[in-house]
Amino acid sequence: MSLANAARRSFTSSSVRRGKLGLEGLASKVDLGSSRVLIRLDLNVPLSKDDGVTITDDTRLRAVVPTMNFLKEQGAQVVVATHIGRPKGEPDAKFSVAPIVGRFSELLDTDVVKVDDCVGDDVAQACGAMPAGGVVLLENVRFHTGETKNFDDFAAALAGSCGATAYVNDAFGTAHRAHASTEGVVKFIDGPAAGGYLMEKELVYIKGRKRVYIKGAIDDPKRPLTAILGGAKVSTKIPVIESMLDKCDNVLVGGGMIFTFYKAMGHSVGASLIEEDMVPMAKDLIAKAKAKGVNFLLPTDVVVADKFAADANYKVVPVDGIPDGWLGLDVGPATQATFSATAAASTTVVWNGPMGVFEFDAFSKGTFGVADALAANESAITIIGGGDSVAAVEKAGLADKMSHISTGGGASLELLEGKVLPGVAALDDA
């Protein structure tokens, strides 16, 4: 059996439920049939730019169905707290959770009852009328400043209004935020707390749990371990790169941030994106990789364009031959071949960030080349994190070929860095 297949098999409900923070542990501590469970989900689905209400990708809704079904089957009254977008701490109709009610009801085969606030008398009334196995969806928690500020009075109101006797967090995508609904609320619920199936799956794949077949891509990987890191800016990836240099056999770097590295190496980068203040750090990272014996690969050729546009004129040049006024928008074919060969020889691969501006067809080959290489390596554990990487894999139709696609870009990055996620720490403390 391939490692990838074993990985997928390991995440049957029976293996996940055995966790310290898992749902079966919760069920052993409290009679869910007489409990009201407040569950934090990340249902921040993309909505159509045309009408603002049509869901264009329901992945996040489908991802939490196993957890929701478990709670419903146990007879729990389930109260869902979530958010959409980034409202400014006050009600805003364009960020209402109303558009997800219909599809969520279909997926759960239940009439989801939506409340127009997340605290207050209306919440208490709706929750009080809920049958066993029922689902109440609270309005966007970010309509209150107390959510992102993690104010105690808001966290207490969130727990008290719905009368929660237990708490579940299945919102890995927000677990790196110390918000009221992810961290603060736990101390105001006089009952057990647990992580849902999605939360635990994320933690197992990236950090590992000894009870399952995979011990974690980072803490106890099957080697060779390769990190493929892309994106526009070095500044957003420095902690991850530093962490990967301590753990990986290979670190492959693409995307717009490569030009800051080239600047550090003394190359002319034309009109390419660079972060001048990050040049010394880039030079330091190159030196650290060499000192640690890590195979640190930067592209040897790039695709440059005369403007940032889908219809730009473009050509392939070596990294030391970028013309003045031209900007790099993708890695070149020689680099694609090298990166693909390295990925093919790896047993564990973590990918975060695109290799170029993959939204433009002319500059998408590097990103889709990585996706193809990972999909072809059926014996490897392949973990995809970060919104753009996930979008590229989905666009390429290769999502089902990957071992794990993370639902949390920022959370997965911080977990890779070795940080403690507040939403997870709160469950441990509880």
Is residue 410 annotated as a catalytic residue, yes or no? yes
Question: Which of the following is catalytic: 17, 36, 40, 60?
Answer: 60
Homologous superfamily of 23-204 in CATH? Phosphoglycerate kinase, N-terminal domain (3.40.50.1260)
- pLDDT-derived band at 411 (thresholds 50, 70, 90) equals confident
- Provide mean pLDDT across the span 362-385: 93
C-alpha span between 294 and 285 (Å, rounded)? 11
**Which range is least confidently modeled, 12-26, 96-110, 240-254, 367-381?**
12-26
For the stretch 6-16, pLDDT in tens is 333 233 333 33
133 is in an annotated binding site: no
Is residue 60 annotated as a catalytic residue, yes or no? yes
86 is in an annotated binding site: yes
18 is in an annotated binding site: no
The proportion of the chain whose per-residue pLDDT surpasses 90, expressed as a percent, equals 68
C-alpha span between 305 and 314 (Å, rounded)? 4
- pLDDT-derived band at 217 (thresholds 50, 70, 90) equals low
Q: What is the pLDDT of residue 17?
A: 33
Among 213, 245, 208, which Cα is nearest to 229's?
245
190 is in an annotated binding site: no
237 is in an annotated binding site: yes
386 is in an annotated binding site: yes
42 is in an annotated binding site: yes
85 is in an annotated binding site: yes
In the chain, CATH 3.40.50.1260 covers 23-204, 211-417
89 is in an annotated binding site: no
Is residue 215 annotated as a catalytic residue, yes or no? no
Residue 214 has pLDDT above 90, yes or no: no
Identity of the residue numbered 354: P
Question: Which of the following is catalytic: 25, 75, 410, 418?
Answer: 410
Residue 237 has pLDDT above 90, yes or no: no
The proportion of the chain whose per-residue pLDDT surpasses 70, expressed as a percent, equals 90
Architecture of domain 211-417: 3-Layer(aba) Sandwich (3.40)
Question: Which of the following is catalytic: 25, 75, 387, 418?
Answer: 387
Question: Which of the following is catalytic: 8, 233, 283, 395?
Answer: 233
Asked if 139 and 133 touch (Cβ cutoff 8 Å), the reply is no
C-alpha span between 69 and 182 (Å, rounded)? 21
Question: Computed from CA positions of residues 13, 18, 20, 23, in that sequence, does the dihedral angle turn out positive or negative?
Answer: positive
For the stretch 321-355, pLDDT in tens is 999 999 999 999 999 999 999 999 999 999 999 99
Identity of the residue numbered 260: T
Q: Which DSSP symbol is given to 17?
A: T
Is residue 233 annotated as a catalytic residue, yes or no? yes
Q: What is the pLDDT of residue 213?
A: 33
Is 23 exposed, middle or buried (CB count within 10 Å of its CB: 0-12, 13-18, 19+)? buried
- pLDDT-derived band at 205 (thresholds 50, 70, 90) equals confident
